[in-house]
Amino acid sequence: MLLLRPPGVYPAQGDTALLIEALRREPGTTGARLLDLGTGSGAVALAGAELGATVTAVDLSRLALATTWVNAHLRRLRVRLRQGDLTAPVAGRRFDFIVSNPPYVPTRRDRPPQHGIGRAWDAGPDGRLLLDRLCHQTPRLLAPGGVLLIVQSSLAAPAATITALHRAGLATSVVAARTQPFGPVMTGRAPWFEERGLVAPGEREETLVVIRGARPR
């Protein structure tokens, strides 16, 4: 999917593609209510709209939402846009599908940056600043039988995501995985990853996983 993506907006990459592949394998998307948290350029939201879902896309960045609007307009697809922090703009609503490609790259900073493209990937020393919040907030937004799909890196403890979603009452599984070389951001942080024990000495690849959580009907 070719998308317009101005500087400052996260480009669709391997994690985006893996999440879209997992979504396309889900039955029942036609007519479903789908929420895309952290939509970026809108790639996953547009994939959901192409599958026939009624899509709401949320992002903290107004530039990202404007980019999603343009990309949807060019494809004659309808996506509802909401600006705000994670689930806050859709509090009290219920969705049949929730998808997210959140920031998950470990960084020395304890807090996410307030500005700049780093907001799209920096996620605290363990990479879980946003992942833990998603695990806490998203289960309550799922309708009975609803499905949550989250993509993340092996460096950000997928087991912790699985455990948290299971404790929230969701049936969890890993439905997609792909190993790929580090990109520029992670390559630059590789020596620090080694110091932290997140990768073995000389290791320069990560495994991306899509974790699925399903609420019972």
Q: What is the mean pLDDT of residues 185-202?
A: 94
- For residue 199, the enclosing domain spans 14-214
For residue 8, being part of any structural domain is answered with no
**pLDDT value of position 88:** 96
Q: What's the pLDDT tens digit per position in 123-176?
A: 999 999 999 999 999 999 999 999 999 999 999 999 999 999 999 999 999 999
pLDDT over 80 (residue 114): no
Q: What's the pLDDT tens digit per position in 57-69?
A: 999 999 999 999 9
For residue 99, being part of any structural domain is answered with yes
Phi-psi region of 121 (alpha: psi -120 to 50; beta: other; left: phi over 0): alpha
CATH of the domain at 79: 3.40.50.150
Supply the angle between the helices 158-167 and 129-137 in degrees, to the nearest 10: 20
Q: What's the pLDDT tens digit per position in 47-59?
A: 999 999 999 999 9
Q: What is the mean pLDDT of residues 88-117?
A: 90
For residue 47, being part of any structural domain is answered with yes
For residue 160, being part of any structural domain is answered with yes
Per-residue confidence band for 120, with pLDDT thresholds at 50, 70 and 90: confident
pTM of the model: 0.94
Tell me the pLDDT of the chain averaged across its residues: 94
**pLDDT value of position 109:** 87
Secondary structure of the chain in the HEC alphabet?
CCCCCCCCCCCCCHHHHHHHHHHHCCCCCCCCEEEEECCCCCHHHHHHHHCCCEEEEEECCHHHHHHHHHHHHHCCCCEEEEECCCCHHHCCCCEEEEEECCCCECCCCCCCCCCCHHHHCECCCCCCHHHHHHHHHCHHHEEEEEEEEEEEEHHHCHHHHHHHHHHCCCEEEEEEEEEEECCHHHHHHHHHHHHHCCCCCCCCEEEEEEEEEECCC
Total domains in the chain come to 1
Q: What is the mean pLDDT of residues 180-209?
A: 94
For residue 28, being part of any structural domain is answered with yes
Instruction: Give the distance from CA 44 to its chain's centroid.
Output: 9
For residue 5, being part of any structural domain is answered with no
Give the number of other CB atoms < 10 A from CB of residue 206. 25
**pLDDT value of position 169:** 96
For residue 36, being part of any structural domain is answered with yes
**pLDDT value of position 96:** 98
